[in-house]
Amino acid sequence: MAASLDKLFCREIELEDESVLKVYQCETGDVGCVVWDAAIVLAKFLEITARSSANSQQRPGTSNFCSVPLQNKTVVELGAGTGIVGIMAGILGADVCITDLQEFVPLMDLNIKENADRIQGLVKACTLKWGEDIISFLPHPDYIIFSDCIYYEESLEPLLDTVSALAGSNTVVLWSYEERTTGNKPELQRRFIEAVRKDFTVEEVPQDSLHPVYRSEDIHVLRMKRKSQNKDLMG
């Protein structure tokens, strides 16, 4: 179902500098029309780690692999929906392409416009259907980010294909997800992680490295990087 811009409501996320990230959501529509908790957790993780990196400070108790410097980096967000995570990356100085199906582009464009005065990098909304050609998104980005996205059986393999095609040898992939307990969701999440481990190293960001307020024991952030013996698939 296309994202309808007729009935919207706004959620405000307070940033560390006391400004506000505004995210418009649709009252009706598919999973991409609203902000999910896992997206907020990932966005706030990016904020605290990127700001620490920019200030050349490492938060106590965090490891180096948790550092996510975003200034002047290139980022592609998959299944962006509202675009909250990618817009946060843009606020932190990255050049970002937030992607989803064509019907979500107007909502993403609206949210980019609403936060334009806070975006320090560049954020644009693009159409990307998983499993299709990603040549227009090359060269490989510094980061691939996505939250949840594991909802439907039929989208699992296309998502895996897209992540694999987009990720170069130096690309860091960050995925946040909330543990699901209904239907086939737990099985889909397990299968995705199992499949991605074939070509990527997978590490979980410790809970104490996430934002102290925006975190939950049932929401996980994974950091993935292509294994060294595998060469870039393209470019």
8 A C-beta contact, residue 13 and residue 23: yes
Q: How confident is the model at residue 57 (pLDDT cuts 50, 70, 90)?
A: low
Ramachandran angles phi, psi of 36, nearest 5°: -95, 155
Mean local confidence (pLDDT), 112-128: 98
Domains of the chain: 8-226 (3.40.50.150)
pLDDT at residue 235, as a whole number: 43
Q: Give the model's confidence band at 227: pLDDT under 50 very low, under 70 low, under 90 confident, else very high.
A: very high
This prediction has a pTM of 0.90
Reply yes or no on whether the pLDDT at 141 is more than 60: yes
pLDDT at site 33: 77
pLDDT recorded at residue 61: 46
Give the chain's mean pLDDT.
90
Query: What mean pLDDT comes out for the span 33-43?
Result: 92
The mean per-residue pLDDT over the stretch 133-146 comes to 97
**Cis preceding-peptide flag for 141 (omega within 30 of 0):** no
Whole-number pLDDT of residue 182: 84
Looking at per-residue pLDDT, the higher value among 146 and 5 belongs to 146
Residue 64 is predicted with a pLDDT of 55
Tokens of 153: 């059986």
